[in-house]
């Protein structure tokens, strides 16, 4: 594990994983995601750990995927892959499809199914791929200053790779969020049920760790079973097959952008600014 991801057990039964690439606002490159996955595996495999808390150092939870990574495909060779996809050096659309199967959709699905409660503590900005670190968690607590954004449509791609938007936001709000690429406040996210609690920034960690500690007092096997039961209810609504469809459409957009712009995203879309977040009057 690198120092980009920190791991600690601050309370009995509670593992705390911290995104620690503050200088890049926790932008996610290949090494960062493998390191995070390693920390998730460590907590999952440790029978003394009952709850996993994920939070971030720095001004923002995560600015999303690190678009400045020079050789994402080449860097795949530096890591032992977790899934069964290969071909990270292949030409055409194959390498990108394989890479995103492994480190985006694959990792998110893997973390979503860890048989222990997971709790994300978010603050600052959570942008596009940043949502893919918090949405796989079972519970989310947001600091009052948190703002969420998915501007992938503005960049010529239909939503982040782990397309949980319809389940996290509801159909109508998900469409507005994606079509407009406007910011969503913590208060609005709470109103639509996307986050469990909104707390002052200074209280975020203490609130989250206390909640994790309460959960860790329950029998782990029952926690595992009830998590599986709720996840099964969500999957019975077609989550997995819908996500596979949206992932394929996401890659149609990548392939299209490569043909038209010679980039995975439409560079002209980055000029489209998002509206300033509307503060809810509460
Ligand atoms: Zn992608």
Residue 63 in domain: yes
In a domain, 275, yes or no: no
| Residue 152 CA to ligand 1 centre (angstroms) | 9
> Domain tally for the chain?
1
Cα 160 to middle of ligand 1, angstroms: 7
| Residue 74 maps to a domain | yes
Per-residue confidence of the chain (282 residues) as pLDDT tens digits? 569 999 999 999 999 999 999 999 999 999 999 999 999 999 999 999 999 999 999 999 999 999 899 899 999 999 999 999 999 999 999 999 999 999 999 999 999 999 999 999 999 999 999 999 999 999 999 999 999 999 999 999 988 999 999 999 999 999 999 999 999 999 999 999 999 999 999 999 999 999 999 999 999 999 999 999 999 999 999 999 999 999 999 999 999 999 999 999 998 876 545 555 444 333
Asked if the structure places residue 278 within a domain, the reply is no
CA of 46 to the centre of ligand 1 (A): 32
The pTM of this model reads 0.94
Reported as type and span, the H/E element at residue 266 is none
Residue 231 sits in a domain of what CATH number? 3.90.226.10
How remote is the CA of residue 202 from the centroid of ligand 1, in Å?
A: 34
Burial of 23 (0-12, 13-18, 19+ CB in 10 A): exposed
Task: With respect to residue 281, please indicate whether it lies within any of the assigned structural domains.
Answer: no
Give a yes or no: residue 276 inside a domain.
no
Ligand 1 centroid from CA 221, angstroms:
36
- By the CB criterion, residues less than 5 angstroms from ion ligand 1 are 100
Distance 187 CA to ligand 1 centre (A): 29
Cα(282) to centroid(ligand 1), Å: 37
- How many Å lie between the centroid of ligand 1 and the Cα of residue 137? 21
Q: Residue 147: beta bridge partners?
A: 125, 185
Supply the range of the domain harboring residue 57. 5-270
Cα of 75 vs centre of ligand 1, distance in Å, is: 16
Rounded to the nearest whole angstrom, what is the distance from the C-alpha of residue 171 to the centroid of ligand 1? 22
Establish if 282 belongs to a structural domain.
no
Give me the DSSP letters along 70-124: TTHHHHGGGS--SSS---TT-TTTHHHHHHHIIIIIIHHHHHHT-SS-EEEEE-S
Q: Would residue 277 count as lying in a domain?
A: no
The vertex-228 CA angle with 225 and 233, nearest 5°, equals 130
CA of 127 to the centre of ligand 1 (A): 14
């Amino acid at each position: 594990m690198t120092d980009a991801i920190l791991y600690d057990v601050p309370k009995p039964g509670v593992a705390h994983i911290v995104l620690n690439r503050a200088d890049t606002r926790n932008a996610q490159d290949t090494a960062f995601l493998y390191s995070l996955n390693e920390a998730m595996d460590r907590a999952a495999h440790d029978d003394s750990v009952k709850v996993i808390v994920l939070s971030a150092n720095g001004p923002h939870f995560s600015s999303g995927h690190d678009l400045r990574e020079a050789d994402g495909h080449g860097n795949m060779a530096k890591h032992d892959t977790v899934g069964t996809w290969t071909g990270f050096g292949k030409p055409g659309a194959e390498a990108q499809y394989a890479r995103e199967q492994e480190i985006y959709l694959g990792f998110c699905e893997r973390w979503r199914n860890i048989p222990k409660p997971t709790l994300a503590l978010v603050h600052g900005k959570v942008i596009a791929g940043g949502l893919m670190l918090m949405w796989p968690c079972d519970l989310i607590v947001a600091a009052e200053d948190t703002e969420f954004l998915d501007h992938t449509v503005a960049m010529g791609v239909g939503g982040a790779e782990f397309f949980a938007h319809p389940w996290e936001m509801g159909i109508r709000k998900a469409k507005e969020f994606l079509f407009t690429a406007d910011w969503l406040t913590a208060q609005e996210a709470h109103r639509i049920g996307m986050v469990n609690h909104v707390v002052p920034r200074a209280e975020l960690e203490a609130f989250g760790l206390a909640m994790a500690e309460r959960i860790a007092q329950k029998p782990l096997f029952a926690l595992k079973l009830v998590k599986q039961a709720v996840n099964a209810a969500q999957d019975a609504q077609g989550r997995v097959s819908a996500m596979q469809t949206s992932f394929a459409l996401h890659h149609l957009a990548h392939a299209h952008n490569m043909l038209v712009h010679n980039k995975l995203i439409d560079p002209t879309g980055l000029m489209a600014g998002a509206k300033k977040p509307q503060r809810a009057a509460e």
